[in-house]
Amino acid sequence: MDANNTLTGFNSMAATFAADVDQAFWINFWISIVLGLSVIVPMFYFAWKYRESNVKDEDIINYTHNTPLEIAWTLIPTALMMVLFYYGYTSMKSLRTMPPASESITIKLEGSKWKWKYEYPANKSGHVHKITSVYDKKIGDVKRGLYVPVGTNIILEMTAPLNDVIHSWYVPAFRMKEDVVPGRTTKQWFKSDVPGEYEVECAEYCGTAHSYMYSKVVVMEQADYDAWFESTAKSPFEDPSAATISKGQSLYEDNGCAGCHSIDSDAILVGPALKGIGAKYDAEYLKDAIVNPDKDVPEGFYPGVMPPFALPDADVAELVKYMQDAK
């Protein structure tokens, strides 16, 4: 994952409609070059040819009409504009024509400051994968992402919480971008025939940690995807022998807390570091800080940055316990 915003991915085309988008872009680019030069080159030529030192007053003639020239400068740009319209429309149609839901996997996507959440349909055992993808500055990479099988239609139902801001889910390798709007559901789809890992960036400025609002799409072989999907693992790449984390730590990661607050060091990410916070404040204060974060903002930080979390009381209690234990 490139944290320098170099928009890697343009050197590959990993979605089935990426070639259509590229074709429309290059046709638009070269026609624009031709139209631009058809104006700029004659402008400089005539400015040089008819400069004051090269033309006498008695040589100046006023032309009032030239039918062939008028037809040419009307029909040629019109024809070129129709070419632009055709390729723009056909590429947009391939992006916007949703495949049937019965032939696709529909995944709910939520963008919020500053993380992406993915919720899958229930698997055969009834388990629902809910994945939070957030950039971890400590490892310099995204922890977890969107996992999809190769050669399969994926429909994304996108939204953001009402108290959040507009985000935009952008995958350069797919040539696709879709706004994620608070309180509104937008849709986009893709199908990738190329297994691999592809970067996701937020393409709509969304505040303090916008430049770190990364995620990734991992396109997997069907068998590998099925094995993970029918399990309860958060990621296909997690070590099954790793120690089980607590409910509180899981909630801390799943709600994107780790993207803004370090809990095992004094590093300032977006909000204040939480190392040793359990020794400084009681449980009631910590609960209030989660559900009503603007009530008591630490010095040097600003209200309105951290959204309030509408979590069940049991989950809030687990988060508080995790913060108290991390002394």
| Strand ranges across the sheet with 153-159 | 141-143, 128-136, 115-122, 104-112, 153-159, 186-190
| Pairing of β 153-159 and β 104-112 | parallel
Q: What is the mean pLDDT of residues 103-127?
A: 91
Looking at CATH, the fold of the domain delimited by 18-96 is given as Helix Hairpins (1.10.287)
Report the C-alpha gap between 220 and 193 in whole angstroms.
10
Least confidently predicted of 58-72, 87-101, 165-179, 290-304: 290-304
pLDDT tens digits, one per residue of 131-175: 888 877 766 778 789 999 999 999 999 999 888 889 999 999 999
Beta-bridge partner residues of 186: 158
Nearest to 17 by CA among 87, 80, 110: 87
Helices (H), the chain: 18-49, 67-96, 222-229, 247-254, 277-280, 283-291, 313-325
Whether the bond into 116 is cis, omega within 30 of 0? no
Domain definitions of the chain by residue range: 18-96, 101-229, 247-325
Pair 187, 158: CB distance under 8 Å: yes
Considering the segment(s) 247-325 as one domain, its CATH architecture is: Orthogonal Bundle (1.10)
Residue 4 pLDDT more than 70?
Answer: no
pLDDT tens digits, one per residue of 253-295: 777 777 677 777 777 777 777 777 777 777 777 777 777 777 7
Mean predicted lDDT score pLDDT of the chain? 83
Which residue has tokens 């070059």? Answer: 33
Residue 106 pLDDT more than 90?
Answer: yes
| pLDDT for residue 19 | 85
3-state secondary structure of 128: strand
Tokens of 37: 């030069």
pLDDT tens digits, one per residue of 5-33: 455 566 777 888 888 888 899 999 999 99
| Pairing of β 153-159 and β 167-171 | unpaired
Which superfamily does 101-229 belong to?
Answer: Cupredoxins -  blue copper proteins (2.60.40.420)
Least confidently predicted of 125-129, 234-238, 270-274: 270-274
| pLDDT for residue 9 | 66
